[in-house]
A and B are shown apart, each in its own frame.
Chain A
Amino acid sequence: MNNGEPQDKVSKQAQVNAKDVSVKKTVKKLMLIVFGMFGFGFAMVPLYDVFCDITGLNGKPSNVAATYNAATIDTERTITVQFLTRTAKGIPWKFEPMMNEIKVHPGERKTVKFYAKNESVNDIVGQAVPSVSPGRAAVYFQKIECFCFNSQPLKSTEDVEMGLQFYVDLDLPDDVSTITLSYTLYDITSSVDS
């Protein structure tokens, strides 16, 4: 190590500057990763929905109206569709299916009704969120019309019958003979108001 010579000092200085440049470059690249990953965290939200839609993972059925175009009905198979309802904490509504279960053939269109009554003194906007079990049946359960597509406002003591029109896809895996459709009702009054 022989330093102290003037030329050496100059070349050292040049080295230091070169180092500064490369340090800045690395920092910039790393900051890009940081911002990229922050964005990725948020990108996971739509990605997750897409992933659930494609795979039916998580029993999350599509919340888009299906068009009924089944030309054939598979009368060989009979599927039991069960209906469950529950109300989330804090919504004083009566909410129940008007029939507990129904038998359908794949491809066959059925309509069922649900009953809701606002038992409180306040006007409340409710939103039903569906979930299908077993989860992998979710993509085969097609809703043509559903009250869960929209929110449901009910004045105090008002009640309503809400319709659901659906069919079960012909491609439903053979080992599924029962599908459970569960609705959870949430109070979304505050977010509708604002």
Chain B
Amino acid sequence: MTTDVINDQSEHDSHDGEHHDHKMTGLKRWLYTTNHKDIGSMYLWFSFIMFLTGGVMALVIRAELFQPGLQIIEPDFFNQMTTVHGLIMVFGAIMPAFTGLANWMLPMMVGAPDMALPRLNNWSFWILPFAFAILLSSFFMESGAPNFGWTFYAPLSTTYSNGSTAFFVFAVHIMGISSIMGAINIVVTIMNMRAPGMTYMKMPLFVWTFFITAYLLIAVMPVLAGTVTMVLTDTYFGTSFFDAAGGGDPVMFQHIFWFFGHPEVYIMILPAFGIVSTTIPAFSRKKLFGYSSMVYATASIAFLSFIVWAHHMFTTGMPLFGELFFMYCTMLIAVPTGVKVFNWAATMWRGSISFETPMLFSIAFVILFTIGGFSGLMLAMTPVDFQYHDTYFVVAHFHYVLVTGALFSIFAGAYYWLPKWTGYMYNDTLSKWHFWCSLISVNLLFFPMHFLGLAGMPRRIPDYALQFADFNKWVSIGGFAFGLSQLIFLVLVIKCVKGGEKAPAKPWDGAEGLEWTVPSPAPYHTFETPPKID
């Protein structure tokens, strides 16, 4: 790699890759930065803080549910906890974590010096803290925080709102704008900034999944913005989009919301596929099995996500044809997802596997995500969904795909690239503790929820019938254990940032990709001269 500098005359001051004296110091550096690595780090830290915030709310919920009866909090506050926990985990933890990974890794993986729109990048991060400040500030107001569920079904969020709707709507608007800007940046970067020779089908699968995810975001976040706008005008400006009295229809809310909501769940899982498709080949020391089928499978899942939304609404009284259509389309998604799972298994098959922590999280991802996928298939069956709908079975399902799925993949990615980010190897013992504590506690936390749901325990209730007491006790113990296990990760990351064993440019011998051709820690500026890809 040469160190010559090409003065690209773009907005940011260009300087030598090895010396970055112009870098501002202190707070200003972080406020004004347009560097993709800085912004990536801020996204990741922000998402971790949000993860802990949402986690505390989950622990409040689990503390209340430890025993039947109401002991710690009032039902209304319980509803606020479930609502804001969901919002924070979806929009504050998982999505920004993926955007952070994208910021850090995408430019390096495609051999670009930075994201295509660095100034926009700065904005899309810095409006996020304001969005969550607005959302969280509602806790300190007379009305309290939103209590209508993260899905904000009308008329709960309109006619029966506790007065927090406006704060909720503006917070979601800002989160949406941030996501859209981030997604535009990702698409533009991938389409325009690839190193010469890197054709679409030569891009790492990580890049592909973010590319497709970004398109999903661009397509559905505006629909969410429209939905919350309708809720806002219904609540405060006398429109009747969802108000039957004025000719509107509350069921229509669910159609519009889930038209956004279903692609949204794939927004939270497709990047996870990209991460484990990077780590599993690295630690199996084999090429990813079926690269192009992985690309097509991801694209098919993205397409199908637009025509399955009403499987969230089987019990609203759809005609039989509608129920069958949405049932079969939903089940169809199992095909490309199955392709992926089998490809990961085939990648590991006869590989010389080693079990470093990123690999442990990746393997756990494959197994536990598949469990979540299977419970999803059960929920897809219309007749049985009538029994499972709105029970803890649903809670178990989406926590398996989002916690042991999305979150575990983020951990896998974090461990995989931490040496590249910090220049130091993480503490291996701590990381193993983090993995095993998380793995055991997360299953104690979410697996019994399946049984609770099948036995009929409804979601979103602060109190329950006595026969559910035993399982709930175990679930709560698992919840607290899982929450505390995450502090190990916090300690590990802080230690790793501060120092440790020096990491070589490529600490994993099976790893592939341009990011490993630059030194560790990655210099402030990389690939000012694009690398050549054969």
Interface residues of A (CB under 8 A from B): 1, 3-4, 9, 12-13, 16, 19, 22-23, 26-27, 30-31, 33-42, 44-45, 48, 52, 55, 57-60, 63, 88, 127, 129, 135-136, 184, 186-188, 190-191, 194
Q: Cβ of B319 and Cβ of A41 under 8 Å apart? A: no
- Shortest distance in angstroms between B286's beta carbon and chain A's nearest beta carbon? 31
Q: Is the interface of B mostly helix, strand, loop or mixed?
A: helix
How far is it, in angstroms, between the C-alpha of A120 and the C-alpha of B84 when the chains are bound?
A: 39
Tally of contacts, chain A with chain B, CB under 8 A: 119
Closest to A16 in B: B8
Instruction: Flag whether B245 is at the interface (Cβ < 8 A).
Output: yes
Instruction: Flag whether B348 is at the interface (Cβ < 8 A).
Output: no
Q: Cβ of B9 and Cβ of A16 under 8 Å apart? A: yes
Given the interface contacts A22-B192, A30-B187, does A3 sit within 8 Å of B227 by beta carbon? no
- Shortest distance in angstroms between A19's beta carbon and chain B's nearest beta carbon? 6
Q: A1-B2, A41-B224 are in contact. List 16 more A-B contacts (CB 8 A).
A: A22-B192, A23-B117, A23-B188, A31-B184, A34-B184, A34-B221, A36-B222, A37-B218, A37-B219, A37-B223, A38-B226, A42-B230, A44-B223, A44-B259, A55-B319, A186-B245
Q: Cβ of B252 and Cβ of A33 under 8 Å apart? A: no
Instruction: Flag whether B529 is at the interface (Cβ < 8 A).
Output: yes
Task: Give the residues in chain A near B4, CB-CB below 8 Å.
Answer: 3-4
Task: Give the residues in chain A near B225, CB-CB below 8 Å.
Answer: 38, 41
Task: Give the residues in chain B near A39, CB-CB below 8 Å.
Answer: 226
Task: Give the residues in chain A near B316, CB-CB below 8 Å.
Answer: 58
Task: Give the residues in chain B near A22, CB-CB below 8 Å.
Answer: 191-192
Instruction: Flag whether B401 is at the interface (Cβ < 8 A).
Output: no
How far is it, in angstroms, between the C-alpha of A60 and the C-alpha of B249 when the chains are bound?
A: 9
Interface residues of B (CB under 8 A from A): 2, 4, 6-10, 116-117, 180, 184, 187-188, 191-193, 218-227, 230, 238, 240-241, 243-247, 249, 251-252, 255-256, 259-260, 316-319, 322, 529, 532
How far is it, in angstroms, between the C-alpha of A38 and the C-alpha of B230 when the chains are bound?
A: 11
Q: Is the interface of A mostly helix, strand, loop or mixed?
A: helix
Given the interface contacts A12-B6, A26-B192, A38-B226, does A57 sit within 8 Å of B322 by beta carbon? yes
Q: Cβ of B188 and Cβ of A27 under 8 Å apart? A: yes
Task: Give the residues in chain A near B322, CB-CB below 8 Å.
Answer: 57
Q: Cβ of B226 and Cβ of A129 under 8 Å apart? A: no
Q: Cβ of A48 and Cβ of B218 under 8 Å apart? A: no
Given the interface contacts A38-B226, A135-B319, A186-B245, does A26 sit within 8 Å of B188 by beta carbon? yes
How far is it, in angstroms, between the C-alpha of A186 and the C-alpha of B191 when the chains are bound?
A: 53
Closest to A38 in B: B222
Q: Cβ of A26 and Cβ of B319 under 8 Å apart? A: no
Q: Cβ of B222 and Cβ of A37 under 8 Å apart? A: yes
Among the listed A44, A186, A187, which residue makes an inter-chain contact with B244, where contact means beta carbons less than 8 Å apart?
A186
Task: Give the residues in chain A near B244, CB-CB below 8 Å.
Answer: 129, 184, 186
How far is it, in angstroms, between the C-alpha of A38 and the C-alpha of B228 when the chains are bound?
A: 11
